[in-house]
C-alpha cells in the first residue's frame, strides 16, 4: 500500500489580504492559500494541511517578518481558544477590513447598485463588551503545545473554560477572558477553585458522567448580574453548599439560578430553571425602555452597540406615527418595542415561542399597547392570508439568522410591497443574495455597517430599500 505523499512546507510566503470568515490569504505559484492568525504584510512559513484542486489550506509555523500593521495580542489564550482571532490587528484596521467585507459581498455576490456605503460604526469598548458568556466544565483539559513541551505535570485534568474548536470533549482552561466585565473572571475562578478543593466531579462529555456541567454569566448596563449553574444530576447537599458559597462570596449577583440537565447536549431551552436566590431575571435599559432578560432570553450580546444598531434601524425606518410595521425574526421584540412609539402598530414574528413570550412581557413592562406578536416558522406564518388578515405593512424590518431569508419569505415580502424595507444582517454574504432578489422591485438607498464584535471578523450591516 503506497504511502500518502507528505504535504509541503512553503517558506517566505507573503500574506496579502483577508478572505471570508476572517481567514488570511496568500498565493504561491498562482495557487491560493488560506490560513489563520496571520495579517496582511506578514512573511511566513506555511505547513500545508489541505490541498485541493483550486486552493490549499495551511498553518503558520514560523513568522519570518512581522507586518508593520501587526498588533500584539493582549490575551494569554490568543490563538488557542478560537475566539478574538483578530487581536493581532489594530482595531482601526479591523473595522476597515469589515467595511471592505461588506462592500465586497454586496458587489461581488449581489452585483448590486449601491449608494456610497456609510463609514462603519465602531465599538467604543473593544474589551469587556459582552453581556453573556458560557463556560464548560470538563475532565479533559486541553493541553497546548507549550504546555506539553514545558514538562509541567498537572495534578488534575479538570478545566472550566471554552471548547476547543473542532474538539467537542476538550476544554481550554481559562484564567482571564477579556470579553466580559472582570466580575465574570472572579466568579468563574472562584467556582473552579471551590470545585477542585471539594473534589466535585467535572463533566465527562464522552462518557456523560460527572456533576458540574456549565455556567452562564449575564450582566447588564443597569448593574444587575445573573449566574446560571448547570448540574448533570441532583445532589442536594453538594449543590446547596456550592450555591451558598457563591451567594456569600458574590452578594452582587442579583439572580442566582440552577438547572439540572441530564440529557446528552448542553442546550437549556427545554430545561427547568430554578431560582436559588434573588430574581428570575435581570433588566437591560435602552433609552426609556426596560427589557426583561430571563435565563433563556436572547438579547444582543454587546448592549452598547445594540443601541447604536437599533438607532440606525429606527432612523432608516423614518416612522411618523401612522405606519403599520412588520418586524420579522423579532426575537424578544427588542426592535419592535424600540420603534413602537413612532408607529401606529408593530407586528413581530419569531420562530421561538419563549422569545415571543418575552417580547409580550417587554411590551407590557414598558406600557406599549400597539404591538402584536406571533410565534412560528416565518415561511409558514408570513403568507398572503396573514397579510390579508393583518394588513399590508408600510415598512418591513427584517433581521434574519446567518442563513438569511427563505425564498418563500422573500416572495411574500415582494407581494406585501411595503414602501420601505430595513434589512439587518449578521452575514453580508447571505444578505447580498437576498438583496439581489428584492432589488427587482426595490432600490438600495442606504448602507450602514456596525461592528458588534471587536477582534472577530463578524460584522452587522443595515440596508434601506425603497420601493421603485
pLDDT digits (tens, 9 = 90+) for 295-329: 998 889 999 999 999 999 999 999 999 999 999 99
Percentage of the chain modeled with pLDDT above 70? 99
Given a cut of 90, whether residue 82 has pLDDT beyond it is no
Average the pLDDT over 254-267 and give the result: 95
- Per-residue confidence band for 29, with pLDDT thresholds at 50, 70 and 90: confident
Average the pLDDT over 406-424 and give the result: 96
- Specify the pLDDT at position 195: 98
Tens digit of each residue's pLDDT (9 = 90 or more) over 106-148: 998 888 999 999 999 999 999 999 999 999 999 999 987 777 7
Average the pLDDT over 343-363 and give the result: 94
Given a cut of 90, whether residue 251 has pLDDT beyond it is yes
- Specify the pLDDT at position 167: 77
Given a cut of 90, whether residue 81 has pLDDT beyond it is no
Q: What secondary structure, in 3-state letters, does the chain show? A: CCCCCCCCEEEEEEEEEECHHHCEEEEECCEEEEECCCCCCCEEEEEEEEECCCEEEEEEEEEEECCCCCCCCCCCCCCCCCCCCCCCCCHHHHHHHHHHHHHHHHHHHCCCCCCCCCCCECCCCCCCCECEEEEEEECCECCCHHHHHHCCCCCCCCEEEEEECCEEEEEEECCCCCCECCHHHHHHHHHHHHHHHCCCCECECCCCECCEEEEEEEECCCCCEEEEEEECCCCHHHHHHHHHHHHHHCCCCCEEEEEECCCCCCCCCCCCCEEEEECCCEEEEECCEEEEECCCCCCCCCHHHHHHHHHHHHHHHCCCCCCEEEEECCCCCHHHHHHHHHCCEEEEEECCHHHHHHHHHHHHHCCCCCEEEEECCHHHHCCHHHHHHHCCCCEEEECCCCCCCCHHHHHHHHHHCCCEEEEEECCHHHHHHHHHHHCCCEEEEEEEEECCCCCCCCCEEEEEEEEC
- Specify the pLDDT at position 3: 61
- Which residues are designated catalytic? 426
Percentage of the chain modeled with pLDDT above 90? 84
- Per-residue confidence band for 149, with pLDDT thresholds at 50, 70 and 90: confident
**Range of weakest confidence among 49-53, 118-122, 160-164, 356-360:** 49-53
Amino acid at each position: 500500500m503506497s504511502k500518502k505523499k507528505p504535504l509541503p512546507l512553503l517558506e517566505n510566503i507573503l500574506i496579502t489580504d483577508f478572505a471570508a470568515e476572517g481567514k488570511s490569504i496568500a498565493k504561491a505559484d498562482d495557487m491560493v492559500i488560506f490560513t489563520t492568525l496571520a495579517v496582511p504584510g506578514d512573511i511566513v512559513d506555511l505547513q500545508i494541511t489541505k490541498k485541493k484542486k483550486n486552493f490549499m489550506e495551511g498553518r503558520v509555523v514560523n513568522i519570518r517578518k512581522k507586518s508593520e500593521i501587526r498588533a500584539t495580542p493582549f490575551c494569554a489564550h490568543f490563538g488557542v481558544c478560537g475566539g478574538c482571532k483578530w487581536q493581532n490587528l489594530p482595531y482601526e484596521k479591523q473595522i476597515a477590513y469589515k467595511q471592505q467585507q461588506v462592500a465586497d459581498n454586496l458587489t461581488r455576490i449581489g452585483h448590486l447598485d449601491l449608494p456610497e456605503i456609510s463609514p462603519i460604526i465602531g465599538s467604543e469598548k473593544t474589551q469587556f463588551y459582552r453581556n453573556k458568556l458560557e463556560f464548560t466544565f470538563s475532565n479533559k483539559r486541553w493541553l497546548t503545545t507549550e504546555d506539553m513541551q514545558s514538562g509541567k505535570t498537572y495534578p488534575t485534568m479538570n478545566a472550566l473554560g471554552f471548547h476547543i474548536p473542532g474538539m467537542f470533549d476538550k476544554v481550554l482552561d481559562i484564567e482571564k477572558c477579556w470579553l466580559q466585565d472582570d466580575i465574570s473572571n472572579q466568579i468563574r475562578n472562584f467556582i473552579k477553585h471551590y470545585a477542585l478543593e471539594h473534589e466535585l466531579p467535572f463533566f465527562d462529555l464522552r462518557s456523560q458522567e460527572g456533576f458540574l456541567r456549565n455556567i452562564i454569566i449575564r450582566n447588564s448596563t443597569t448593574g444587575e448580574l445573573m449566574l446560571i449553574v448547570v448540574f448533570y444530576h441532583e445532589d442536594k447537599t453538594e449543590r446547596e453548599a456550592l450555591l451558598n458559597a457563591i451567594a456569600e462570596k458574590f452578594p452582587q449577583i442579583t439572580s442566582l439560578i440552577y438547572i439540572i440537565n441530564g440529557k446528552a447536549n448542553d442546550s437549556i431551552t427545554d430545561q427547568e430553571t430554578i431560582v436559588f436566590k434573588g430574581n428570575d431575571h435581570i433588566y437591560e435599559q435602552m433609552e426609556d425602555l426596560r427589557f426583561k432578560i430571563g435565563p433563556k432570553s436572547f438579547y444582543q450580546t454587546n448592549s452598547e452597540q445594540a443601541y447604536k444598531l437599533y438607532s440606525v434601524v429606527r432612523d432608516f425606518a423614518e416612522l411618523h406615527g401612522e405606519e403599520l410595521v412588520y418586524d420579522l425574526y423579532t426575537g424578544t421584540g427588542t426592535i419592535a418595542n424600540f420603534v413602537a412609539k413612532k408607529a401606529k402598530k408593530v407586528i413581530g414574528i419569531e420562530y421561538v415561542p419563549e422569545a415571543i413570550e418575552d417580547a409580550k412581557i417587554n411590551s407590557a413592562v414598558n406600557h406599549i399597547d400597539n404591538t402584536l406578536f406571533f410565534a412560528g416558522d416565518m415561511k409558514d406564518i408570513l403568507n398572503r392570508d396573514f397579510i390579508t388578515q393583518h394588513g399590508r405593512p408600510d415598512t418591513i424590518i427584517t433581521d434574519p439568522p446567518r442563513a438569511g431569508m427563505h425564498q418563500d419569505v422573500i416572495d411574500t415580502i415582494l407581494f406585501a410591497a411595503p414602501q420601505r424595507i430595513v434589512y439587518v444582517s449578521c452575514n453580508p454574504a447571505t444578505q447580498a443574495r437576498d438583496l439581489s432578489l428584492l432589488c427587482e422591485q426595490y432600490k438600495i438607498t442606504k448602507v450602514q455597517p456596525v461592528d458588534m464584535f471587536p477582534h472577530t471578523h463578524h460584522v452587522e450591516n443595515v440596508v434601506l430599500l425603497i420601493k421603485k
